Structure formats: structure tokens, C-alpha cells
Amino acid sequence: MRFFVAAIAVVVIFSICSDASARYRPPPKRHFLSHESLRRPEQYRRLSSYIKSDRRIELSRRKVVSLKKSSFWNSRPYQFSTPLLSDGKIFVGVDAGYFYSIDTKLKNKIWSYKADGAIQAEATVSGGDVFFGDCKANVYALDVETGAERWKSKVDTSVLAQPLVTGDRVYIATMSGRLFALDRGSGVELWHTEAFDDDFGFSVRRAAAPVLRDGLIYLGSSSGLLIAYRESDGRIVWTRQLGDRRSQVFDVDSRPLFVGDKVYVTTADNSLFCIDTVTGRIDWDANAGGSSDPILYGERMYVSGGGGVAALDPIEGNFIWQQDLEEAGLSSPAAGKDYVAVASTKQRLYLIDSDTGDILFQRYIRGGSYGDLVVADDMLYILSNSGRIFTFEVKEHSPRKRSKKS
């Protein structure tokens, strides 16, 4: 009897395993190359059926600098700052409220400064001073060599964007959507604009940074507007609605990029716009990008958002390639020698061939990052959510040789 029961059990298990095997499908291919992007329905083929790039890239970690964490008990910290490289130093603030100057060669901390609130934006270095803001509506000017405080000024709400420093003024965009003009020497407020964002609901971050061009300051808003202010007094010259208000989010959180007499911005609803700087007229738009900043490298424009990275022709807006990384949170692209790099909030860093869009290298980054990468020569810098500054060296070796197949 026991033998009969055991035999039945074996048959049942074999049947279950057979059904599971019949239902099994190989896992979907997570990444695909540029030539595959044109055949999106075929992206789920087996990974081995595709030809990989011949380029061989090595990304080796050189140094890690640990910075102050907001709390010992905070198991999931977030860092939104982007390191700033200037004259052999890294300047960066962290969510714990500390701002650092770090030697890029020795990788040691030169000085630190304790701010009143969390620091979640990139700094600006100009004329021997470094300027930044915090999440408690403070703006700081420190001596770049010693970290001594020059002045501290109050604005209306959190500062999540990099300050614009030009001439004798410092321009600050705040979370309310206002633009503040401060005296560079004293921090005294000269004027501020009215907010465009009060009547609008959900927003991504309101982290758009102001950019100066030909006497106008360009700034995006969480209401989906690109606004051109007069530099002297903050008066509006023109506005253009870019974000689709029917979308759940439609912020213009990207830093405007200028090429000739055109300005390029992306919106949180995954659109890229080319706009005439004189009239504010939209020349073209494309379904690409997101809340990150577009960049120009060579004769191509690169954007990230919507789970991937794309290269476009800046003149006509035509796609050159698209690379789907299936990563919801991607940094702005950073350009190196014949590659673009992006980091994700899910602990991955990618190097992508700038010409073809092929993935050249990827690696694990502990904690991921909400900030952007910085590339200088053959070095790559990033502030991870774990509160560490990672430094990587990028090396390219001779192309791999492929065996001929009959």
C-alpha cells in the first residue's frame, strides 16, 4: 500500500513539474541595443541572440569618501545633491545638513560647514566664494578656501536648485516658484518675482535651476511653464506653456540648454521642446526626456527619462537612437569620451555608447542616487543615497575580437 501511495505521489509531482516546465518562459530581456530600439516588439528575445558592442570599457572604483548621514536609524536615506568640481576640489552638501570641500586627488575632507537644514541642491563657485541653499529657506555664501561664512540670507521656502551667480547678484529659485535676486556681497534681497505654482497640485520636485542668456533669466515651473525674466528687475518678457496639464505631473524641472538661438527643456510628462529664444515660439517637440537636464555632446542631444536614454538631432528633433533601461528614476546624462553615463535610484550605473546607444558597462552602486553624475577627464563622481562620494576611473581597452562563424 505504501509503495502504491509513493508511486502516485511521484506521478503527481512529475505532472506538476511538467506543467510548470511547459508554462515556463525565459525571463524578458532587460536591456536592448540601439538597433533593437527600432524593433520594440522584439525586445523580449533571448539575450544571447543579440550581438553585443565590440567596445570594452572598464569602470574601476578609485576612492570612497563617507559623509555625514542624517540619522543612524535612517535605513533609507536620500541624497539629491550633485557634486560640483572646481579647481581640484569637490563641493557637495548632504541631507544631514553638512556642506563639504573635498580634495579630488587625496580624497580627504578639507573643511565642512553645518547648515540649518538639509542640502539637496548643487552649489555654485564664483570669485572665491561658494553659494548654496538649504531646505529651511536659507542661502549661504562661504569662503571657498576655509569654509568661513560670508553671509546667510533668508528666502521664502526651500532651495532645491543650483544658484545662478553673475556680476554682483545671486539668483535663487525657491520651491514656491519665485525667483529671488540677492546682493552678492551681502545677501540682501533686491527683488523677487511672484509665484506661478500656488494653484497647482502634485509636483515632482520644483528643482529647476535658473539660467542667464542675453539679459534674460530662464526658469521652469511646476505649472509646466517656461518663463523668461528680465535680468535687471525680474519682469516677465514671455512665457510658454509646455507641460500638458492633463498629465498627472507636468513640471518643467530641467535646466534650460542653449544652442545658438534655441533653448531646449524637458517636462515631467516626458516631452522635449526646442524653443526660439527671441519669440518663445516652439519649433518642435519630441516624446523624450523627463525631469532631468538635456545635454549636448558633439552634434547630438542626449536626454533621459521615461525609463531610458535617447539621442536626438538638435536641429530637427529626429531620434538617432533610444535605449530602454527599464529604470523609472534616472539621473541626467553626463558625457565622457564617446559615452554617456546615467545612474538610477535602483543602485545601477550605466555607460552607454554615445554613437550607437549600446550599453557598454553597468555596475552596482550601493544605495543608488537621486543626484546627477559628474564626468571630468577619465574620472566619474557621484553622491550615492548611502552618503558616500564614489570616484570611478573609466578605461577603454582594445575592441574584443570575434570569431568568424560559417
- Mean pLDDT across 102-118: 92
What's the pLDDT tens digit per position in 180-223? 999 999 999 999 999 865 544 445 555 789 999 999 999 998 88
Identity of the highest mean pLDDT range in 12-21, 204-213, 311-320: 311-320
The pTM assigned to this predicted structure is: 0.84
| Average pLDDT in the chain | 84
User: For a pLDDT cut of 70, what percent of the chain falls above it?
Assistant: 82
Whether the predicted pLDDT of 177 surpasses 70: yes
What are the Cα distances from residue 380, in Å, to 104, 125, 278, 305, 397?
11, 20, 36, 21, 17
Whether the predicted pLDDT of 102 surpasses 80: yes
Whether the predicted pLDDT of 342 surpasses 80: yes
Alpha carbons 221 and 196: distance in angstroms, whole number:
7
pLDDT at 287: 92
Phi, psi for 3 (deg, rounded to 5): -65, -40
pLDDT at 197: 57
pLDDT band of 6, cuts 50, 70, 90: very low
Specify the domain boundaries for CATH 2.40.10.480 within the chain.
42-73+328-397
pLDDT at 403: 61
Alpha carbons 41 and 28: distance in angstroms, whole number:
12
Alpha carbons 149 and 330: distance in angstroms, whole number:
34
Question: Which helix H or strand E contains 220, and what residues bound it?
Answer: strand 216-220
- Residue 271 near residue 254 (C-beta atoms within 8 A): no
- Residue 197 near residue 177 (C-beta atoms within 8 A): yes
Q: What is the 3-state secondary structure (H, E, C) of 14-30?
A: HHHHHHHHHHCCCCCCC
What's the pLDDT tens digit per position in 126-143? 999 999 999 999 999 999
Secondary-structure class of domain 42-73+328-397 per CATH: mainly beta
Question: Which helix H or strand E contains 37, and what residues bound it?
Answer: helix 34-37
pLDDT at 128: 95
**What does 291-344 look like in DSSP terms, one character per residue?**
SSPPEEETTEEEEEETTEEEEE-TTT--EEEEEE---SSBPPPEEETTEEEEEB
Specify the domain boundaries for CATH 2.40.128.630 within the chain.
77-195
Q: What's the topology of domain 77-195? A: Lipocalin (2.40.128)
What are the Cα distances from residue 85, in Å, to 69, 122, 137, 373, 382?
22, 10, 24, 11, 11
Residue of 252, 166, 247, 238 lying closest to 209 (CA atoms): 252
Quickly list H helices, 87-128.
none
pLDDT band of 290, cuts 50, 70, 90: confident
Long-range contacts of 229-237 (CB under 8 A, 24+ apart): 229/179, 229/193, 231/166, 233/191, 234/179, 234/181, 234/191, 234/192, 234/193, 236/193
